[in-house]
Structure 1
Amino acid sequence: MFFKDVKFGPQEGELRFRLIHFWEARNTLTKRLNNFYGSKSKSVYRVAEPDVTIAFTWNYVLSVLENSPVPFPEDRFRFYGYEEFEAACDLGGDLYDYAGHVKLVNEQALSDSLVLDEVEIASSRRILVNVQTHDGPVMKLYIWDKAAAVFCEKFKALGKPPTVILVTTVNPKRFGGALSLSSLSSSRVFFDMDVQATREYLDWFESNTEVANRVNAEIVTKAETATIGELLSYMKQEGAKVAWFECTATIDDIVRDSAWYYIACGGCKTKATKVPTTLMCKKCGKTEIVGAAE
């Protein structure tokens, strides 16, 4: 059966395919699938064009396809550029892939002495990579959770900072007013020589270093500490340009009359329900809980 022949509902045919995107998948192998279900593709966070999604049923059979008479091509990617990501930002639409050359890793310039702070990465569960595609703008690429752990593993195995990075199924979002790309649970990370697409980009980079290094990412993303007073003074300047600032603050107090303030279950943090003599939690099912201010 071909993908174009899959209809809505249970299917008993056999699909032979190369697995590219699969939530929680760890290995991309050529597979054979029996017993599956055709469901309508979601309008948000799509990774392919067809209207029908292949869903696994309770009795599905997924096995490795060996000695296939049909040749399968290497992984195929759907790349987007800055303008296209800008147009799709925060719309929750299709998820596309992104490739470019690395400018900064966690705000550190690339060098042979660059070392990742794995303790900090494990705590924050993310890595921030500033990436530029050809001679386009430098973009912030946030790599989260499992993809961040894979980034660290591949970084150490490579023995030096990567020149080219490719991340699949990224979601364009706006953080602090600036366009950024964010990985999802299905995202995979590739470096310099991992796949054909990164090898081709690396060839371009080595032949066009002048163009590739035209933008200094350290200037674009330079971190500076400023007080609220200094920001106000900047805003009052007649020639002030539009600028974005990332603010870090410590919660000093919670205004109890604010709509954001509520008493939560001390266990699951769900908003507690008041009863005549105590508090209860509908989520935990407990009729008496210890409340906590949130």
Structure 2
Amino acid sequence: MVRFSDSTCFDEITEPAIPIFPVHELLGLANTNTQLPDIIGEITAAKSTVTDPPHDKNHLMATIKMDNDVSVTMSMFDSQPVKLHNQLESMGGDPRVLVATSLNPKIVGGHLFLNATSGTRIYFDKETIAGETSTGCIADLNEFVNSASSQEIDFICTEKVTGIKLDKGWCYVSCSNCTKKLQRTVSAFTCLDCNNTNAVGVLKTDVSGGDVHCR
């Protein structure tokens, strides 16, 4: 069942949407460390250890109702829970539908947990259209990075692929945090740049391209 309020609005999607993973696909990815899926769902309950003022070590567990009314648990640690805790406090009893990105699914005690990673971002339904957009090229992006004040901002870049570099194989395993190539050990992957001996890997392909535009 989908509920609409007086503030509900609709926008026509003219570009491919971000793939959202249903529960059965999350179960298939659990404990594999092969992919960091995105989800959409409704927060029905949340518990956190966040205090005022917050400490360095925080923990938040949120119950997320997904497709077919199946509930999973999203878990966040350290500094990440503070922002979500404050957002939930300010929203009160409003419908709390969210999109959560780059989660690491794990099965613990027969229950599916979605653990936040360093790349996890939370977008509530009221925030997904907010913000200004502009278009430009790579040179504009470089100029912005070099001259703008420190801030967190997302860019979406599109380009025309002109070739795939196959001299070292068609793909490699990269760090999900810094995207650098991982070093394989007997039972895990190590990221030298992040100093992480149990890094989560993502398959990457080296491509060359042209006609790059960012927004």
TM-score interval for Structure 1 and Structure 2 normalised by the shorter chain: 0.3 to 0.5
Per the normalisation by structure 1, the TM-score is 0.35
Per the normalisation by structure 2, the TM-score is 0.46
Higher relative contact order (CA 8 A, sep 6+): 2
Task: Answer 1 or 2: which has greater helix percent.
Answer: 1
